Structure 1
Amino acid sequence: MIKLWCGGRPISAVEALVFDKDGTLANSHSWLAQLARQRAQVCVAAVQSQFGDPASDLLSQILASFGVRPTGLDPEGLMAVGTRQANQAAVLDLLLQAGYPAQGWATWVADLFDAADRNLAPKASHTPPFRGTQALLERLQASSLKVGVLSSDSPMHVEAFLQTYGLMAWVDGWQGTNPDDRPKPHPALLYRLCDRLAVSPQATVIVGDSGVDRQLALNAGAAGFISVSEAWGRPAVEGAEWVLTDWDDLQVLPAGPFA
């Protein structure tokens, strides 16, 4: 098995690294915050058009449910770590709590999200890789280590990101999340990806930017979790076994025992 150093500390018995996308490989937080505001605004405008003036705090409530704070996007919030369906469900819950009729709202909110998304499309062009990402993936690919990407984003957006920035050649397998999939931190999608990579989950290390990614590693019985940190716009995830300050902190070692 390949052996790695991470931040000067060894990681032994590793077959694969599986990376989160948004906030880990892709610099997406500012775009996600902008998208959250667009979605919240179109939802409030639709309520106003259909039912008259909504409660004065409806916009702020929707933004808070998405994890948008005055200082920016919460890296542990729904927009950062949740699926599209989870964000839609948060809006539906707020509308039902406010007393609006339930019938038809699920389809309506989905359509409103689509309208907001079109204003900021295509996503990939607005969410470039963090500095050094391609060099890291090339370095890892040059070893016999398997490299995977597992994201709560849709398969379409995962593929578009990898294709847009020429990263597909350096990735052995990737997995997005469809509406009927059990999302992270449930380990089902990780197990599916590991099967395609022909590696054991117990010999796979997860690299991510949220507690959801750490919990995924725990739920799957993975070899550990590496957290990104301040260079990615957030403090290290609590409980991470290893912490990156820069992609150069990950170094591949030749096979053999650690000194």
Structure 2
Amino acid sequence: MVQIRCGQHLVADVEAIVFDKDGTLADSRGLLQRTALARAEACAAAVGAGDGLIQALLDCFGVSAQGIDPDGLMAAGTREANRQGAVAVLTQAGYPADRAKPLVAECFAAVNAQRNSKAADTPPFAGTVAMLERLYNSPVKIGVLSSDSPAYVKEFLSYYDLMPWVHEWRGTGPGEPPKPDPTLLVEVCDRLQVAVRHTLVVGDSWADCALAEQAGAAGFVSVSEPWGRSPVPGASLILGSWDDLVVVRSSSPEFKPLTMP
């Protein structure tokens, strides 16, 4: 095991780092905003509603004229959570509950069918490829755990040639427990043959932070301004750039050891 330097802090006895995908490795802000609008418009058109319902759906998804809420449903929730949110909005607007669920599923599927490739519209943030390669060539194991579907996680990693720099990855399939439930993180750590308590979680949302806490991980590292968001409240460590995340093999008096909660 080694130490990880993050800014001016050291975390000892780290075996692995597990990264979130959207908002952390992948810049998905533009695509998520466009997808949310397309879904809202499709649902409203299907029930013969107008701008009022579109706005209510966008509010539910966490999307506004100012951008996308990094802790909202669209950015941090699973596809199923977004479907459930849309169903709730339609039901509250007076649409029959027994018809809302299949209608929303059809609208979401229609929007997805119009998109050729998600990966092409969600490029890695600057420096991501070099960071993963650098960490992969250290003693630390590298994992990816996303609330996105397994197919889209695989597409992203393959499209940008990141597979060689990731030891294990995991998406969230239908019916599987989403973040912050620790089940899938435990599975990734088992595949990596590392202990969760010696694993750092790197992400951009409250769900990633709660995941690390519930799983008893070594800590949660929040991305920040260069990723287009403020640090996640409660984060153990905060990244200003990928260069801040460094594997070190010995302690140095210039750094402050971090006592994890």
Would the TM-score normalized by the shorter structure come out above 0.5?
yes
CA contact (8 A) 2:44 2:50 kept: no
Distance 2:75 2:116 in 1: 17
CA–CA distance in structure 1, aligned partners of residues 42 and 17 of structure 2 = 39
Match of 2:20 in 1: 20
Identify the residue that residue 35 of structure 2 maps to in structure 1: 35
The alignment partner of 1:191 has SS state of: helix
Q: TM-score, normalised by structure 2?
A: 0.94
The gaps in structure 2 that reach 5 residues or longer are 254-261
Q: Is 2:238 the partner of 1:243?
A: yes
Letter in 2 for 1:156: A
The CA distance in 2 between the partners of 1:25 and 1:129, in whole Å, is 5
Return the offset for 1:100.
Answer: 1.2
- List alignment gaps of at least 5 residues for structure 1: 49-53
Tell me: CA distance 1:30–1:55, structure 2 relative to 1, closer, same or farther (3 Å). Answer: closer
Q: 1:171 maps to which residue?
A: 166
Post-superposition CA distance 1:156-205 (Å, at most 9, x none)? 00000000000000000001001110100000010111110101000000
1:211-226 alignment, distance < 5 Å: 211-226=206-221
1:226 deviates by 0.3
Q: What is the deviation of 1:120? A: 3.0
Following TM superposition, by how much is the alpha carbon of 1:109 offset from its aligned partner in structure 2, in angstroms? 1.1
Distance (whole Å) between structure 2 residues aligned to residue 190 and residue 66 of structure 1: 25
Give secondary structure in 2 for the equivalent of 1:99.
coil
2:98 is equivalent to residue 64 of structure 1? no
Aligned partner of residue 104 in structure 1, secondary structure: helix
Q: Which residue matches 2:107?
A: 112
2:6 equivalent to 1:6: yes
- The separation in 2 between residues aligned to 1:32 and 1:203, in whole angstroms, is 32
Q: Which residue of 2 aligns with 1:124?
A: 119
Distance 2:225 2:144 in 1: 21
Q: Deviations over 1:59-110 (max 9, x none)?
A: 1000000000120000000000000000000111111112211223322211
The answer to whether structure 1 residue 210 and structure 2 residue 205 are counterparts is yes
Aligned-pair CA distance for 1:132: 0.4
3-state SS in 1 of match to 2:110: helix
Residue 222 of structure 2 is aligned to residue 227 of structure 1: yes
Residues 109-159 of structure 1, C-alpha deviations (whole Å, 9 max, x = no match): 111101112223310000000010010011111111000000000000000
| Deviation beyond 4 Å, 4+ runs, structure 1 | none
SS in 2 for 1:106: helix
Residue 51 (structure 1) aligns with: none
SS, match of residue 185 in structure 1: coil
**Deviation at residue 31 of structure 1 after TM alignment:** 0.8
Distance (whole Å) between structure 2 residues aligned to residue 235 and residue 170 of structure 1: 27
Instruction: Note the alpha carbon deviations across 1:196-245, whole angstroms, 9 max, x for none.
Output: 01010000000000111000000000000000000000011111111111
The CA deviation at 1:252 is 1.2
Out of 131, 138, 141, the position equivalent to 2:133 is: 138
Which deviations, in whole Å up to 9, do the C-alpha atoms of 1:4-30 show, x marking residues without a partner?
A: 111121111100000000000000011
1-side partners of 2:226 and 2:157: how far apart? Answer: 21
In the alignment, the residues of structure 2 paired with residue 163 and residue 56 of structure 1 have an alpha-carbon distance, to the nearest angstrom, of 38
Separation in structure 2 between the aligned mates of residue 146 and residue 208 of structure 1, nearest angstrom = 17
Q: Give the conservation status (yes or no) of the 8 Å contact 2:43–2:103.
A: no
Question: Counterpart in 1 of 2:89?
Answer: 94
Secondary structure of 2:181's match? coil
Separation in structure 1 between the aligned mates of residue 164 and residue 125 of structure 2, nearest angstrom = 17
Q: Is the 8 A contact 1:185 1:213 kept in 2?
A: yes
AA aligned to 1:226 is V
Larger deviation: 235-244 or 224-233?
A: 235-244
Distance 2:37 2:51 in 1: 16
1:35, 1:120 within 8 Å by CA — same for their partners in 2?
Answer: no
